[in-house]
Structure 1
Amino acid sequence: MFRRREPVPFAFIAEADKFRSNVTPPPRERATASQIAGRSLIGLTLVGGLVGALVFGLPALSLDQSPARTQHSEASNNR
């Protein structure tokens, strides 16, 4: 490995590239059934909200494809 040419104020910073720890982290705790159920319920709620917003929002965003309907008042039709 190449040596750095610029001065480094702390030796441990310069040697940080080579450092390997021999200490293994503790194993992760397994999620309980209630935690898994809660996370999946929150996920389903979020997905359901997004799908609901899409279902209710699409009709408002869609362009009317039917022929243009003009509104006429009764007064203009009785000439």
Structure 2
Amino acid sequence: MFRRREAVPFAFVAEADRFRSNVTPPPRERPSLSEVAGRTLIGLTVVAGLAGSLLFGIPALESGPATGHTQQSEASRSR
């Protein structure tokens, strides 16, 4: 009924963290020219989008009379 568990020496558990395999993984494949070009274009698109959002967003966030637009009501214009 009861399962008898095998005793595991503490030294074995401690050495498990430092275990290194002697099997080397295969070398990574170099990306093709089209993959490099695609990644570059995607990166440039993201950077251009961020720069464009800053270019159009900063003037919209400015407040004060420096914008050149003054609001006047119709009643004050007709007098």
Q: How would you bin the TM-score normalised by the shorter chain?
A: 0.5 to 0.7
Which residue in 2 is equivalent to 1:47? 47
Question: What fraction of aligned residue pairs are identical, expressed as a percent?
Answer: 57
TM norm structure 2:
0.67
User: RMSD of the alignment, in Å?
Assistant: 3.2
Deviation at 1:39, TM superposition (A): 0.2
Between the aligned partners of 2:17 and 2:38, the Cα distance in structure 1 is 41
Deviation at 1:18, TM superposition (A): 2.5
Which residue in 2 is equivalent to 1:17? 17
Aligned length: 72
Distance 1:75 1:51, change over 3 A: closer
Deviation at 1:62, TM superposition (A): 1.2
Q: Which runs of 5+ in 1 are unaligned?
A: 1-6
Query: Which amino acid is the alignment partner of residue 37 of structure 1?
Result: A
Which gives a bigger RCO, structure 1 or 2 (Cα 8 Å, sep 6+)?
1
Aligned residue for 2:38, secondary structure, equals: helix
Larger mean CA deviation between 14-23 and 37-46 belongs to 14-23
Between the aligned partners of 1:12 and 1:36, the Cα distance in structure 2 is 46
Distance 1:75 1:22, change over 3 A: closer
Between the aligned partners of 2:42 and 2:15, the Cα distance in structure 1 is 45
Query: Which amino acid is the alignment partner of residue 41 of structure 1?
Result: L
Aligned residue for 1:44, secondary structure, equals: helix
Indicate the structure with greater helix content: 2
Which residue in 2 is equivalent to 1:73? 74
